[in-house]
Amino acid sequence: MTVVIETRGLGKTYRETVALADVTLSLEKDTIYGLLGRNGAGKSTLMSIITAQNFASTGDVRVFGENPYENAAVLGRMCFVRESQKYPDDFKPSQAFAAARMFFPNWDQGLADDLVKAFLLPMNRRIKKLSRGQLSAVGVIIGLAARAEITFFDEPYLGLDAVARQIFYDRLLEDYAEHPRTIVLSSHLIDEVANLLEHVIVLDQGRVLIDASADDLRGRAVTVVGDASAVSGFTSGREVLHTESLGRVTSATVLGTIDAAERDRLTAAGLDIAPVSLQQLVVRLTQKEEVR
Amino acid sequence: MDRILKVVRLQNLNKMTFIGIPLIILGGAFVLSLLIFALIPVTPALGYKFAGGAPVAPMWYFMGAGIYALTLTFPFSQAMSVTRRDFYLGTMAIAALASIGMSLIFTVGGYIEQAFNGWGLEGRFFRIPGLWDESPWLQALTYFTAMMLLFTLGFVFTVIYRRWGRTIMLVVLLGIIALILVLGFVAIKFGFWVAMFEAIAGIGLWGWTFIGIGITAVLAVLSYLPLRCTVA
């Protein structure tokens, strides 16, 4: 696989706040990444530094093997519309798309027109008069139709209703299948995007908490449900992420995998084994990290 | 070059900013001046009717355009993956084009005004007294310079504001005002203000225009340096 983005020891400090600390990552070509984490975990900061819209305090970034800062050749192959993107005051969506068409060499006008219809976006209303969801739609349409080799979506769902969000996920996958590229999707609606993601990066307080393939992550923990004493027998000696009890029934999420023999024993003891959703795993791992 | 032209087009996607609004302001000032010319008698000492500050109205708008270019178009240009350098050059280019357009309108308007005896009212709107009489070319160059200077001033102060925050911008602004006041005070206190005014007059209109070009160029370069590390 070809690495398209590489960060080494990336750090960003604002006066006393540490936004990013020692972030070292490699992102590969033609992969959908989920950049997950709580508000203020450093997701937007990381994306804005990779796209040279912001500056790192320490460490460095390579995109397509080069420093992206003031590098038109590299920047032109990336697209990053911020969640709080500002548009010229009296711009209409049509003018924003006309601009994007000019600057992104792979821009697909047909796709943009299609998406405008799908999102019911009023083309002749000024952007500053749009609702939060419609504003998000403008950014989503630019991001998708630009077909940049590396595209960042910064919490693109804000204000979008459930139908519009599903349209976004569907169109993203559809277009990605035909035109593979590197997509970085920042989100904290983890369950919603879990099925899209091939690789997951979780930031917590500016540090990389998880950097693993989605498949790898799904097998990383398991939840066991059943009689409290049987469950505690199983969990002893394992790293427990979370337990919940209701009467005599306990549910425990533990790190690690369960092999076939163990699975049989658990079933014989009357315990149920449930997979752990990505969201559960991220939440539990983040909480565990923050307790430390 | 191609990328800089794209920024010019980006700045002009909304035709109002650099073309529409300046023309509306100019047109409005012109129509009002004509109305006033029709109502007032010729100023005896001058032998014509003068529109006063009305012709410079579009210039002041340009300071606003310099602020606007940075506060709103710069963040958008970042989303369009434009480098800070290309944004800067393209933005300065469209300001220069609009300023050239405006000074051409003043030159052509001046000749028409002259041919029709001040719109049949003996008025002077496009022919700025002193400048036009010295040379229509001087007027065009001065008008261009003044517009670019105001645009660059708006740009510089917004860059300072965005790069270092409000306090530093106010310190710079007050510092400049204080410097001028101190200079004036010293000139009066030590009695060289007459000599200073004579020297200022001695530089002449052409001289001042070239000094204006120099100041604009220095400010333009100075605004680029902080822009290189400004976060949208």
A113 and A75 in a single domain? The answer is yes
What are the extents of the domains in chain B? 2-227
Strands A207-213 and A199-204: antiparallel
Residues of B in contact with A85 (CB under 8 A): 75-76, 79
E strands, chain B, where?
A: 49-50, 123-124
| Look-up of token digits 């700025």 | B128
Of A154, A148, A151, A213, residue with least CA distance to A188: A154
A135 and A224 in a single domain? The answer is no
- Of A161, A185, A213, which closes a domain? A213
A60 and A143 in a single domain? The answer is yes
Q: pLDDT band for position A292 (50/70/90)?
A: low
Residue A2 has pLDDT above 70, yes or no: yes
B158–chain A Cβ distance below 8 A for any pair:
no
A139 and A234 in a single domain? The answer is no
Residue A292 falls inside a structural domain: no
pLDDT tens digits for range B37-95: 888 888 887 888 887 778 888 888 999 999 988 888 999 999 999 999 999 999 999 99
**Domain CATH code at residue A177:** 3.40.50.300
A53 and A133 in a single domain? The answer is yes
- Of A213, A230, A260, which closes a domain? A213
Residues of B in contact with A96 (CB under 8 A): 76
pLDDT tens digits for range A115-152: 999 999 999 999 999 999 999 999 999 999 999 999 99
A161 and A84 in a single domain? The answer is yes
Q: How many domains does chain A have?
A: 2
Mean pLDDT of A218-222: 85
| Minimal CA separation from A125 to chain B, in Å | 14
Average pLDDT of chain A is: 92
**Domain CATH code at residue A231:** 3.30.70
Residues 6 or more apart from B12 whose CB is under 8 A from it? B18, B19, B94
Domain span at residue A35 reads 3-213
Nearest by CB to B81, from A88, A96, A103: name it: A103
Residue A282 falls inside a structural domain: no
In chain B, which residue's Cα lies nearest the Cα of A47?
Answer: B79
Residues of A in contact with B15 (CB under 8 A): none
Q: What is the edge-to-edge ordering of all strands in the sheet holding A3-14?
A: A17-28, A3-14, A58-63
ipTM of the complex, rounded to two decimals: 0.89
pLDDT tens digits for range A24-72: 999 999 999 999 998 889 999 999 999 999 999 999 999 999 999 999 9
A102 and A171 in a single domain? The answer is yes
- Of A195, A213, A231, which closes a domain? A213
Residues of B in contact with A53 (CB under 8 A): 78, 231-232
